[in-house]
Structures are given as structure tokens and as C-alpha cells.
């Protein structure tokens, strides 16, 4: 069941699927990515569309699933950061 929630209302859990809506003074749109392995996302403009029913070409490209972090990768990145003197300062700031 899909539920519309504003930021700060409700909570997210692993496995939840979300849409990210961006709102600024002169622009609003949903984050949309047709390439799942790409770090580059586009914003689907909502000027001509309803916010609650945006009529995406493919809703799968606008939905993102909340996943548990990969502990192995996180540990490897932490080890690399601990070895790098510049990253050490950032780690100590946390």
C-alpha cells in the first residue's frame, strides 16, 4: 500500500520504496533515473503534471528502495579512510 508522507512524518524502514520530490521557489520535480547503475540522476519536471499523480513514463525509474548498508564495503571504506591522513581529520571530527 502506498502512503504519501511529508519529511518528518512517519519513519522509513528497510525495504520501503520511496519517491524523492524536490521543491524550490521556482521549480519542483521528482528524482528520476533510467540508468540504475549511474550516479547521475535527472529531475522529472512537474510543471504540467499533478504532484500527487505525476504520470511518469515508467514509475520503476522514479522509485528507490531503502536497502540495508553493506557492512563489508563500509568496513573496507573505513579502513581506507583510517590509512589516509586527510581522511583521518574528517573521522576525528565525527
13 vs 93, residue with greater confidence: 13
Question: Percent of the chain scored above 90 by pLDDT?
Answer: 0
**Does the structure show a pLDDT above 50 at 1?**
no
**Does the structure show a pLDDT above 60 at 53?**
yes
DSSP string for residues in 11-80: ---TT-EE--EEE-SS-EEEEE-S-TT-S--EEEE-TTS-SS----S-GGGT-EE-----HHHHHHHHHH
76 vs 42, residue with greater confidence: 76
What's residue 86's pLDDT?
A: 73
pTM value is 0.46
Amino acid at each position: 500500500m502506498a502512503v504519501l508522507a511529508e519529511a518528518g512524518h512517519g519513519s522509513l524502514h528497510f525495504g520501503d520504496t520511496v519517491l524523492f520530490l524536490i521543491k524550490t521557489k521556482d521549480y519542483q520535480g521528482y528524482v528520476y533515473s533510467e540508468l540504475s547503475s549511474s550516479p547521475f540522476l535527472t529531475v522529472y519536471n512537474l510543471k504540467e503534471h499533478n504532484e500527487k499523480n505525476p504520470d511518469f513514463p515508467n514509475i520503476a525509474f522514479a522509485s528507490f528502495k531503502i536497502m540495508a548498508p553493506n557492512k563489508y564495503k563500509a568496513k573496507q571504506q573505513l579502513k581506507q579512510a583510517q590509512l589516509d591522513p586527510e581522511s583521518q581529520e574528517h573521522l576525528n571530527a565525527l
